[in-house]
Each structure stands twice: as C-alpha cells, then as structure tokens.
C-alpha cells in the first residue's frame, strides 16, 4: 500500500477518532436545540423549585425559632450567631472556613491566575454548600445550620467545636499540609454517647457546588468539566450528561466510592473518606450559557461570573459516636497537574493510592501508556529549561517525528517500491479493461507484488504503530495545565483557541471566530496533499479511484477546520508544525531515494524469486485466498444469472 493511501487511511482514522471524541463530548446541534426548546420548561420548573425552597426555608426558620426558644434542647443556642471566616494558607493554597457549619467556603490558588490576572478563586460561599448529617435520639444535627466555636487556630490548623447543653461536643479539626494542595479534616465526638443512639455508626455527607467558568471558551471548558469518582475496587470514572434527553442532568448511584471530584478543565476539588463513602448518589447538571442560572453578578452588579455545571453528592461514611475512632477526610483543592495529583493520591489517610492522577485524561489505555511513560516525561524535561511553551511544543514535535522516523521511512519505501512497479501494474490493468474481471486483475497484481518481494500492506503497519503517538498528543495537549495562559505569537493562551478573527453571533457548526493556527494547519494540509500527489503518483488504480482519493484528501482539511476550530491553539499549532515537518521529511526522502537503484533491487528480487520462489507470508496468502474465494463467488453468481436468462 503506497504512502498516500496509507496517509489517507491514517488521516481518516485520526479524523474519525477526533470527530467521535468531539461529538461525544461536545453538545450536539440536536442537544443545543433541545436545550433551547425546553428552556422555558426548565425556567418554570426552576421557579417551582425556588418557591418550594422558599417554603422549606420558612418552615426551617420556624423550626429554628422553636428550637431557639426551647431551652431544654441539647442544641439550644447553636442555631444563631454571627458568621466568621477563618483562613488556612500555605505557599500554594488558601482556604476559608466558616464557623457556620465548620465548612470550607472558599479556595484561592496562589500560583495560578484567572482571566483578569488575579489569583484564581475556585469557589466561594455562594458557590459551594457542605453539610454533615448526624441522627440523634431526640434531635438531629445538620452542621450547615449550626454555629461552631473557635477552639484553636494556627496558619495551618484550625479546630472548631459544636457545643451542646450537657451532651458533650463535636470537634472539626482541619490541617493544611505545607507545600501541598492537600487538607485533612478530622470529625470527632466527645462525651456524646447519650445524644446519639448506641447502634449509630454512620453520618451523612452532602456536598454541592456550582462550577465556575474559568477559561476562555464556554463550551470547550464545559466539555472537560465533570463530576468524577472512583468506585471502590475499580478505576476512576466520571458522569457524562445525556445528549439526547429533555433533562440536562444525570444521576448515578454506587454502593461504595473512595472519593468524588468536582473537576474543571484545569482545577479540581476532591473529597476522600478514610473508610470510603457508602450509598453514594451523584448528580451532574449542565448550565446553558448566558442565562440567569449560569450568571452571577458581583457586588457591583457590573461584571458577571459564569457557571458551566452544577454538581451534587449525597453519601454516608463511618462515624463513631463514642469518639474512640474519629472520622477522617482528605481534600485536594488544586490544579489538574499529573505529578501533583499523583503525589496527592499517595497522601491518603488510609495509606491507599487514590489514583488522583487519572483526573488528567490522557486517552484510552494504550494511548494513556504512551502519554504517561513517553510524552509526559519528555514534556517535563523540555519545560525545565524555561523556554516558551511554543518552543517546547516545537521541540516535542521534532523529537516525536525523529522517534517515528524509521517507521515513516519504511512507509515511504513501501510506496516507492509500489511506484517502481507501476508500469507492470498498468500493463495488467490494460489487460483486463472489463470491470467484471477486476478480481482476476487484482490476483495478477498480487502475484507481481510477490515476485518482486513487495508487500502492498507494507505501509500500513508503520502507520498503525505511529497512531498511538499521534493520538497521545491529541489527548495530552488540551489537558496540559502548563499551556494555560501561555502566550505564543498571536495566541494569548495556548490552552484555548486563538481568535484574532471573530464576529458577533455564531455560525452553526463553526462558532463565532476562526482559529488562525487551525486555518494554517488546514492550508498546509492541502499543500501537503498536492505535493504528495506529485511526488507519489498512485500505482495500479483506475481514474475513478484516483479522483476519489484526490477529493478525499482535499475534503479532509475542510472537515478539520470545522472540527478543530474550537480546540486549543496549542493542539492546532502542533498539527501545523507536524504537517510542515512531514512535508520536509517527504521532500528529503524523495531526494535521497534513487529510483533506478530501487528498481534494480526489485529486478534482482524478481530473478532470485524465479529461481527460488519464496513462501508467501501469512498476510499475502490470506489476501490471495480471499480474492480467489471472491472470484469464485462472482463466477457462480454470473453463471446463475446466465442460466436464469436462458
């Protein structure tokens, strides 16, 4: 199989994978239409929910008033108070913890900025709600409704206490590790044996969060934002909202999970329990862009902050009412950086590796192995030199091209041999002008390949070997946080699309901009097609097949333009320089290949094979057998048709 046919198959396969990934992760046109069609229904339901929530709030307030007036209640006085925020910080992470509920209500990362250039805030108290639920003999505790008292505080530790009237107390102790994005929480009861039932051994955990739109490109970031989890004994997974449903949300249930993660494209908030979570009910819901539900205004009501998804988790975990065995939790609040997550996964309270590094999606199993053991170490090595990320991607592409060069060379030589045999193949084609004799023509062509020691499939295997490397970079680059907000040439952020050319409104299936890197990649792809057609004329094919191949190669770049226009500029830049390098490599190989010597080598193979016919390879034998069987079936069918006519 010649280089151009192999390239066509390779590009078609890559395009098919990218299109599949694109449409599986990107809201379809039908989905977007459904979102608009049911917008008014959702708004009505949301109004009902708001009214219901207001009624529940009024009822809850009434209970609070009753409880506040009940001096006999063990929780008397804990439902009212003045909210205070306490801050724990290290060089990388700052978290705010409220005395109301003893919950984390804010997180800021020092080493990363938002789109305005300020330290990025992952969430605040308007975005995130946390509650621990404990059932007592007479009354229950919902920590979100209770005010805790400060016991002790340092820069890295904080203990808050929920006091009762003569029934003991409940301590929440936070500890922030230095130089890590990891935070520990210990929940321990003291002297509360009479408050809780003797058979009690579980407490409920409720966590909800509206995920902020942090990056450039709403739909692209939404595609990489999801609720992830690790079901006990299995590999991590995540929730994918339904694309063909009236509902924009999905709920899944598991008997046991080790952790849950609210993941943005580049940042995650993870909660893990020492003794796992049981009866987990996880919900993820999409927000529609530029709607009241996805927009929150600042105090000045001038600069909106957008949300892209809503996530909610309801689950239970072990609790010892005697306090002999405290309940322990681990939080990770930080970047989706592979090595950082890998290190944090080994800091679990139970000593188990949590596999948090799999929050960085690197593709399917084989592709992930290529990324983990080849691409990531190579990328890390290059970034240590302090170069611009555009130069890093250039060097990374060059090194990858050099690694796969032997396979590229083999693929090219297979094509060159096919080109050298073109006169012989054309003679056979002229010998069988009737399309009905196509099978016999192909058999004789296969015999020519065999006599001259050429495999028509010789270009396929090198191409297949290279595919995991191509796909590894396709998955790696959009998820590499190192490219976030990195400038190169006209691109202001290599992790997002470059949009020097943009316009108001959206063109269906295209968007509101054109990516220059994507456009250049498509133009170079067309040039590559033209050059390869001139340098590698197709052997042994009729004109209709050649026209089909020609238009396929011209159509592919146009389809790439529609598919990749919304992807990161870093990915399109990689494809651009990879295509340019392919043209240069093809030109050098063509210049360094002597067709006369190659033909002489093939003639020598022919004479050698005449004297000592080689045993056909398994692939060649199977291909010839398949052709013979197909020819037999065609002859039988032709005989039946002739007999019926008589």
Structure tokens of 364?
């399917």
Tell me the pLDDT band of 320, cut-offs 50, 70 and 90.
very high
pLDDT for 495 equals: 92
CA atoms of 155 and 137, how far apart (whole Å)? 37
Tell the residue number behind the tokens 């193949």, with chain if given: 425
> Mean pLDDT highest for which of 160-174, 456-470, 614-628?
160-174
Instruction: For the chain, give every domain's residue range.
Output: 3-28+370-611, 79-361
* pLDDT score of 590: 82
CB count in 10 Å sphere of residue 278: 16
Q: How many CB atoms lie within 10 A of CB 503?
A: 11
Measure the CA–CA gap between 78 and 57, rounded to whole angstroms: 18
Q: Give pLDDT, residue 38.
A: 46
| Segment among 214-228, 282-296, 512-526 with least mean pLDDT | 282-296
Indicate the pLDDT class of residue 503, thresholds 50, 70 and 90.
Answer: confident
Q: What are the backbone angles phi and psi of residue 501, rounded to the nearest 5°?
A: -100, 115
Query: Tens of pLDDT along 159-211?
Result: 999 999 888 999 999 999 999 999 999 999 999 989 999 889 999 999 999 99
The fold of 79-361 is Beta-galactosidase; Chain A, domain 5 (2.70.98)
**Digit-coded pLDDT (tens) for 243-279:** 655 568 899 999 999 999 999 999 999 999 999 999 9
Residue 294's pLDDT band (boundaries 50, 70, 90)? low
Is 274 exposed, middle or buried, given 0-12, 13-18 or 19+ CB atoms closer than 10 A?
buried
Q: Which residues contact 448 (CB under 8 A, 6 or more apart)?
A: 421, 424, 425, 428
Q: What confidence tens digit (pLDDT) does each residue in 14-56 have?
A: 555 555 555 555 555 555 555 555 444 445 545 555 566 566 6
Q: Single out the residue of 344, 181, 319, 199 nearest to residue 259, CA to CA.
A: 344
Looking at residue 615, its pLDDT comes to 56
Q: Half-sphere exposure (CA, 13 Å, Cβ side) for 247? A: 9
Residue 563 near residue 571 (C-beta atoms within 8 A) = no
- How far, rounded to the nearest angstrom, does the alpha carbon of residue 354 sit from its chain's CA centroid? 19
- Return the DSSP state at 322: T
More confident residue, 314 or 528: 314
Q: For residues 42 and 287, is the Cβ–Cβ distance under 8 A?
A: no
Phi/psi at 459 (5° precision)? -85, -10
pLDDT, position 30? 56
- CA–CA separation, 606 and 610 (whole Å): 6
DSSP states along 376-402: HHHHHHHHTTT--HHHHHHHHHHHHHH
Per-chain mean pLDDT for the chain: 81
Q: What are the CB-based long-range contacts (under 8 Å, 24+) for 166-171?
A: 166/74, 167/74, 167/191, 167/192, 167/194, 167/195, 168/192, 168/193, 168/194, 168/195, 170/134, 170/141
pLDDT digits 0-9 by tens, 60-95: 666 656 655 566 778 888 888 899 999 999 999 999
């Amino acid at each position: 199989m010649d280089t151009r046919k192999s390239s066509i198959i390779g590009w078609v396969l890559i395009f098919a994978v990218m299109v599949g990934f694109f449409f599986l992760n990107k809201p379809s046109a039908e989905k977007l239409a459904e979102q608009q069609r049911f917008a008014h229904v959702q708004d009505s339901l949301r109004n009902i929910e708001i009214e219901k929530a207001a009624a529940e709030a009024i009822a809850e307030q009434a209970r609070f008033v009753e409880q506040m007036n009940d001096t006999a209640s063990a929780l008397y006085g804990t439902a009212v108070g003045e909210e205070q925020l306490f801050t724990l910080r290290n060089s990388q992470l700052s978290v705010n913890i409220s005395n109301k509920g003893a919950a984390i209500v804010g997180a800021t990362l020092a080493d990363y900025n938002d789109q305005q250039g300020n330290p990025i805030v992952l969430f605040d108290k308007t975005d995130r709600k946390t509650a621990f639920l404990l059932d007592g003999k007479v009354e229950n505790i919902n920590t979100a409704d209770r005010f805790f008292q400060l016991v002790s505080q340092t820069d890295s530790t904080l203990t808050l206490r929920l006091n009762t009237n003569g029934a003991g107390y409940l301590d929440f102790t936070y500890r922030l590790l230095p130089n890590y994005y990891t935070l520990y929480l210990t929940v321990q009861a003291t002297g509360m044996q009479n408050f809780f039932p003797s058979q009690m051994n579980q407490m409920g955990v409720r966590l909800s969060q509206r995920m902020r739109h942090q990056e450039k490109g709403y739909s692209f970031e939404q595609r990489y934002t999801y609720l992830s989890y690790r079901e006990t004994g299995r590999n991590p997974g995540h929730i994918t909202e339904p694309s063909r449903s009236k509902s924009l949300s999905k709920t899944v249930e598991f008997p046991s999970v080790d952790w849950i993660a609210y993941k943005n494209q580049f940042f995650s908030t993870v909660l893990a329990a020492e003794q796992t979570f049981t009866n987990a009910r996880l919900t993820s819901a999409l927000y529609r862009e530029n709607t009241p539900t996805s927009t929150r205004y600042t105090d000045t009501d001038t600069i909106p902050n957008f949300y892209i998804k809503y996530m909610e988790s309801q689950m239970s975990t072990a609790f010892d009412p005697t306090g002999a065995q405290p309940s322990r939790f681990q939080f990770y609040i930080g970047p989706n950086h592979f090595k950082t997550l890998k290190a944090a996964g080994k800091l679990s309270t139970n000593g188990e590796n949590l596999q948090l590094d799999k929050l960085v999606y690197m593709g399917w199993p084989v592709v992930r192995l290529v990324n983990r053991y080849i691409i990531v170490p190579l990328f890390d090595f290059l970034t240590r030199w302090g170069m611009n990320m555009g130069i890093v991607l250039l060097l990374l592409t060059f090194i990858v091209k050099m690694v796969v060069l032997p396979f590229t060379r083999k693929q090219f030589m297979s094509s060159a041999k096919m080109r050298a045999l073109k006169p012989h193949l054309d003679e056979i084609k002229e010998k069988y002008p009737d399309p009905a004799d196509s099978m016999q023509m192909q058999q004789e062509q296969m015999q020519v390949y065999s006599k001259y020691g050429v495999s028509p499939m010789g270009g396929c295997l090198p191409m297949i070997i290279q595919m995991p490397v191509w796909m590894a970079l396709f998955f790696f680059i959009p998820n590499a946080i190192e490219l976030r907000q990195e400038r190169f040439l006209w691109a202001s952020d290599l992790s997002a699309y470059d949009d020097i050319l943009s316009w108001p409104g959206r063109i269906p299936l295209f968007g509101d901009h054109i990516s220059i890197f994507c456009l250049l990649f498509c133009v170079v792809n067309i040039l590559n097609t033209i050059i390869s057609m001139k340098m590698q004329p197709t052997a042994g094919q009729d004109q209709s097949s050649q026209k089909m191949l020609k238009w396929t190669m011209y159509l592919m770049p146009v389809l790439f333009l529609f598919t990749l226009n919304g992807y990161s500029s870093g990915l399109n830049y990689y494809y651009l320089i990879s295509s340019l390098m392919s043209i240069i490599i093809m030109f050098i190989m063509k210049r360094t290949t002597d067709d006369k010597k190659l033909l002489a080598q093939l003639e020598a193979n022919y004479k050698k094979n005449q004297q000592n016919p080689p045993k056909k390879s398994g692939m060649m034998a199977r291909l010839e057998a398949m052709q013979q069987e197909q020819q037999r079936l065609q002859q039988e069918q032709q005989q039946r048709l002739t007999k019926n006519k008589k």
